[in-house]
Amino acid sequence: MTKKELYNKVLAYFEQAMPVAETELNYGNPFELLIAVILSAQCTDKRVNLITPPLFRDFPTPEALASTTPEVIFEYIRSVSYPNNKAKHLVGMAQMLVKDFQSEVPDTLEELVKLPGVGRKTANVIQSVVFNKAAMAVDTHVFRVSHRIGLVPQTCTTPYATEMHLMKYIPETIVPKAHHWLILHGRYVCTARSPKCHECGLNGICKESLKGRIKDI
């Protein structure tokens, strides 16, 4: 099976199995999603969704968040990972939105990564989910699943290399959805420990069950 054939089979399976695939973070506008994605770094979406309602209620705009302090925000987010750093990032992010972006979430990678707490992965999530751009955010699930299935070679040892390889083969029009397919598959089926191979629709297609029969082209 060639790499192109593998991609075609995998994407066709996901399209049929998950016709609707979207972020599991709760949000009502781009600003709220940006907050949620910053908080989700090395933290579960479930945990983030538990703490964001009061945060969104009390700081509904960039101006409101920019005018408070990290110490205040810390009390709202203390149960997430790295709450001190994230509190500083959230206030700094809001201040930059107000100062440099007219309180609007920017839509380009170059502008998004200027914001405190926003790296390439977070920027790609915003581009994909909010602006429906062909941006592939590679988190731990995407990285793991892409390698296990055989979508990327073992030489893709970084999130960036994995992103570039995936973008070579996935049609731009479905990149935003494919990002969620890989995340959700990794979260619920192709888990880090004890993957549920026996109930996986890709069993018999992925690299783990076709050792040595997939070749790069």
User: Which residues are tagged catalytic?
Assistant: 121, 139
Q: In angstroms, how far is the first alpha carbon of the chain from the final one? A: 10
Q: Are 68 and 59 in contact (CB under 8 A)?
A: yes
Among candidate residues 149, 128, 146, 156, the one with its CA nearest the CA of residue 205? 149
- Can you say whether the dihedral through the CA atoms of 94, 65, 32, 184 is positive or negative? positive
Dihedral of the alpha carbons of 154, 159, 160, 163, in degrees to the nearest 10: 80
DSSP track, 123-184: HHHHHHHTT--S-----HHHHHHHHHHTSS-TT--SHHHHHHHHHHHS-GGGHHHHHHHHHH
- Dihedral-angle region of residue 130 (phi above 0 means left; psi in -120 to 50 means alpha; beta otherwise): alpha
Cβ-proximal residues to 70 (8 Å cutoff; 6+ apart), any chain: 84, 87, 88, 90, 91
